[in-house]
Structure 1
Amino acid sequence: MLISLMDDTYDSHATIEECRLLNAAIQRWDESATSLLPNYLQRFYIELLRIFNEHKREVAIRDTYHVAYARKVFQDLSAYYLQEAEWLHQNHKPSFKDQMSLSAMSIGSPTLCIGLMVGMGDLVTRESFEWAAGYPNVTISCGKIACLMDDIAAFKGGKAKGDITTSIECYMVEHRVTSAVAISKILSLLEDDWKTLNQALFQHHAQLPMVRRIINFANSMPLFYAEKDAYTFNIHLKDTVESLFVETIPM
């Protein structure tokens, strides 16, 4: 919820000056920074601090450092969102490589990979969190899978006003090719990232519980982005949800 609210704020609602102030407050992570913000962002910021403090109380005392790592990657995500807002404000057209590097992080999946581990208790160690918070290839590939599938779904559905340049558009402009060629290239990159996830199972034995959780999270992406952007327009999930939880299974 917090990530979606922050994403929408940076993308659609805040001015560039407000985006800069919000990021400055999130990097400070202190109630004293509330006064930096306009009233509507003060409410978000106070709730953000409250929820993270509540999470610290909910985990075992020995696991409070889990929340500290989640906070760190949330702060990183804010900086990525600000970079996107700055590009849009400056009408900057990034290269395909630069756009992919940023979008793989700003999609939020690497952040969520850490957040999903906060309540895992003894299954994960401080070393595991340190490894994951350093954004190894497996978390970056998870982010790439999410952003590339999102870009394909969004491109097919039509770009909304104010959206940043997608990877498909960057590739088309940079290489002067059609959308069909660009999408074909994106699909081949997706294959490479799925292979990276599979390889991680064999390369990171000490971090296996975290790797499995990251891969399980990545495996959910086709549910949201296989055909249409069902994350943004959740009506597209209606039939799937009904088939799983509402309709009876014929015997």
Structure 2
Amino acid sequence: MLSAVTSLTPYKTGPKQHLNHAHPHTKLFQNKTVTTSDRLKWRTTDPLKRDRFLCKCVSRPLLQRTPEDTDVKHAKLVEGVRELISNDTNDVKFDDLLMVDTLERLGLDYLYEDEINLILEQCHIQLINNDLLQHPNLYEVSLCFRILRQNGYRVSADIFEQFKGKNDEFVDNLKSDIRGLMELYEASHLCIEGDDILDEAAIFSSHMLQKSLNFLDDKEAKMVKYTLENPHRRNFTSFSLHKDFDAKILKELAELESRMVKSIRKTEINEIIRWWDDLGLGKELNLARNQPLKWYIVPMVSLSNPTLSQQRIDLTKTVYLIYIIDDIFDIYGSLSELTLLTEAVSMWDTGPVEQLPYYAKLTFKALYDTTNEIACRVYEKHGFNPINSLRNSWVTLFDAFLVEAKWFASGYIPKSEEYLKNGMVSTGLQVFLVHMFFLLGDGVTEEDAYLIDNDHGIVSSGSKILRLTDDLVSEQYENQDGHNGSYVKCLLMEHEDCSRNLVQEQVKQMISDEWKCLNKEFLFPNPFSKHFLKGSVKLARLVPLVYGYKQNNSFDQIEEHINSFI
């Protein structure tokens, strides 16, 4: 997922390789490149040395179980916070929603899933019956709408009509309600197709908040600017405890939970590093990226629940393989070799691989063994063997890589829609989501497998958000003139009368429209589990975080972000 920076590992000079195939596709958050020589030059000037990351995990022994006194303290704090949560689920108050928002943002919601579900269900009922907010104001209505929508409840956007005047525009006296405008802006990002009033709310609130920057003090202005640049639905944002209620015990629990979770993460990373070393691919593919911490952040963010440790480990292995295969297509393989390797994956058979170099045999074996091991683990835990779905996801990815390799080799320039259709697959997001789906136990029947195998809206919307964001940011900030593919460049070639700025604005609108689709797919009724739905949305929310570092041309922030989690 953090491949915006994974092209920066230093390399030693190895045996002669096929360096004539640096074609332009972007995998799971992969950085755009110009040519192979440029790519290797960037890697060798990496300010983030791999050893700086690895030493923080490998040099420490595997952390044992937390001390008993820590477990006891944790249990007491968990129960203490539980006592703060309303027991009267027949009469939910606004403070209960503040508590839900706080628990979710602090990553403590997994400890109180039953209580949160009861609060949200009753909140939805009371909202429909106009029995939730005694004196509704912009702040309370917006927060209530956001919390319910982001948890899958179908709340009508018409709830904001009460804040419009006779001219069908938002009333002018709202401009001084900074807290309300900030929450309205946040709520507008839960928009789905047809929510015209939320489109209007986004324009109105952002405009008013921008104007407010001229008269707010520095602290307030900084908070408003941060909200405008990082809406919660589409980003990973920092969070301060609500000051509306005493939350000292929440802070204590959050800090203790953070220390305990960090020990789990370090143990998982050590497990992943051992697995990678045992494969031996790092020695054979000396030009391939080897940055386990950066890859681990993808499943770590998607599945933050500490109890899902094995799932995170298996998904990190999946991300590893996506990157390694990407590098093989970019750096190592000739077109004939890549074609044979793709055929071997399609057949799921070692026969065609026997004709290939050792690195290709080793890569196929790693893919074959790891995928089968994950399938066996799913079968043992959930009683369904997903090997066909897992294998097909890899086949689809290899096919997309090969298409791009052929385009590059022949000099063919695809039409924009042709490029985008294939580019959505070559992000690798489908492979990740299919594996996550089965590892979470969502797929226990053939019908379930069919659901995820056939490019469900959650998969396609997430893939399109990733592809378009990557291409847009690369076009805006990297100013590359190489052979790399770009949807923006394809559009410019097809519409020579359009300016670059106009095309970029069109792509931004397409990203916004896909978020509307993703928001709709998240609403009840839904065939997916909450873990899968939230993991999918978190994956999409991770995109701006990664590409924000591209804009700044600095990797210091990303190092700080990774270190904050481990």
CA-to-partner distance for each residue in 1:47-83, whole Å, 9 max, x for gaps? Answer: 1112122223333435452343111111111011111
TM-fit CA distance, 1:113:
1.0
User: Partner residue of 1:102?
Assistant: 422
User: In structure 2, the residue corresponding to 1:65 is in which secondary structure?
Assistant: coil
Q: Does 1:228 align with 2:525?
A: no
Task: Extract unaligned runs of 5+ from structure 1.
Answer: 247-251
Asked whether 1:216 is paired with 2:538, we answer yes
* RMSD (Å) for aligned C-alpha atoms: 2.4
**Is 2:362 aligned against 1:40?**
no
Q: Which protein has greater RCO, CA pairs closer than 8 Å, 6+ apart?
A: 2
Q: Which residue does the alignment assign to 1:188?
A: 509
Q: Give the equivalent residue in structure 1 for 2:101.
A: none
Distance in 2, matches of 1:204 and 1:178, equals 42
Q: Structure 1: how far apart are the matches of 2:505 and 2:539? A: 24
Structure 2 spans left out of the alignment, 5+ residues: 1-319
Letter in 2 for 1:87: W
Structure 2 letter corresponding to 1:187: K
Shift in Å at residue 45 of structure 1?
1.0
The aligned counterpart of 1:202 is 523
What code does the residue aligned with 1:48 have? L
Q: Report which of the two has the higher share of helix.
A: 1
Kindly tell me: are residues 64 and 205 of structure 1, through their superposed partners in 2, closer, same or farther at Cα, counting changes over 3 Å? closer
After TM superposition, the score normalised by the length of structure 1 is 0.86
Aligned residue in 2 for 1:249:
none
Flag the 1:160–1:128 CA change in 2: closer, same or farther, 3 A: farther
Q: Structure 2 counterpart of 1:17, which letter?
A: S
**SS of the counterpart of 1:92?**
coil
Cα distance change, pair 43–158 in 1 and its aligned pair in 2 (3 A): farther
Q: Which structure: larger Rg?
A: 2
Work out whether residues 70 and 115 of structure 1, in 8 Å CA contact, stay in contact via their aligned partners in 2.
yes
Paired position in structure 2 for 1:89: 409
Query: Aligned AA for 1:228?
Result: K
In structure 2, the partner of 1:157 is 478
- Distance 1:9-1:63 versus aligned 2 partners, 3 A rule: farther
In structure 2, how many angstroms separate the alpha carbons of the residues matched to 1:222 and 1:22?
33
Distance 1:236 1:18 in 2: 39
Contact 1:204 1:211 in 2 (8 A): no
Relative to structure 1, the CA distance from residue 235 to residue 94 in structure 2 (aligned partners, 3 Å threshold; closer, same or farther) is farther
Structure 1 57/124 Cα, relative in aligned 2: closer, same or farther at 3 Å?
closer
Residues 83-141 of structure 1: CA deviation (Å, up to 9, x unaligned): 111111111111111111111111111221111123112x4433233111100222111
Matched pairs, number: 241
What's the CA shift for 1:226? 3.3
Task: Find the counterpart in structure 2 of residue 57 from structure 1.
Answer: 376
Question: Percent identity between the aligned chains?
Answer: 20
C-alpha distance in structure 1 between counterparts of 2:415 and 2:354, whole Å? 37
Q: Tell whether the 8 Å contact from 2:462 to 2:536 is kept in structure 1 after alignment.
A: yes
Instruction: Report the Cα offset of residue 147 of structure 1.
Output: 0.8
